[in-house]
Amino acid sequence: CDTSEDFLLTLDRFVVAVRDAGIRKVAIDLRRNPGGDASAPLAVMRAFDAHPALGFGVEIRVSQTLLETMPMFAPAAIAPAFESVGAPPPATDAERYQVPAPLVLGMVQSRLGERPFETASGRALYLLTGGATFSSAALFAVLVRDNSLGQLVGEPIGNSASFNGSELILPVPGMPHELHLSSAHLTRPDLLAGGSPTVLPDVLAPSTPRLIVQQGDPALDFVRHTPVPAP
């Protein structure tokens, strides 16, 4: 997903329906979600009054291609943002630099603008995860896990807890293919949790071959049958 106005209006309608129906549990299915705009998870969390205190730190790898396609990440261009939070800016000739986690969180949140959101607070948030949960969907899962904002249910995610992102897309001359080259490394919010090749769910609910044949969904069944949290 990206945070287009259509996405945000759909989110508003969903939140209003949850609120009007008095639904106490909300499940977001990320099991076959390859990612998208990093601000989409923050939009969903804001809608359900779940505000992460810890965000991802990002190491930027400076290249000529990055400067041409994402000039806002040039050391000189991003320096005022560093200074606004009292952090020393990167050197103008830096080949790599680290963007502090609070600044990253603020920059991503700023993409949502000043638009008012429909909100539904006090809901229990569940993210359904699996091996095809990647990129910004994995970021969503890690933000929820490391900030204790909900439960992960299903199977381990396909990404590591800290991973490469912000892809540059380069054409391959003479071939109908593209090269996707990462320009940043994202470090998980909870530094004490350390690196991990995946993130395990709070509730392991795998889809076995038998259940797939029977069209069963153990992850969603867990959410359905777990006790409704108190208001």
Report H helices in 111-176: 135-146
CA distance 229 to 53: 23
Report H helices in the chain: 5-21, 39-47, 64-69, 75-84, 101-110, 135-146, 209-213, 218-225
* Average pLDDT, integer, range 186-213: 86
* Average pLDDT, integer, range 204-209: 83
CA distance 40 to 137: 9
CA distance 168 to 181: 5
Please give the model's pTM, rounded to 2 decimal places. 0.90
Bridge partners (DSSP) of residue 25 are 124
* Burial per residue of 147-161, b for 16 or more beta-carbon CB atoms within 10 angstroms, e otherwise: bebbbbbbbbbbbbb
In tens, the pLDDT along 108-154 reads 998 898 889 999 999 999 999 999 999 999 999 999 999 999 999 99
Asked if residues 186 and 58 have their Cβ atoms less than 8 Å apart, the reply is yes
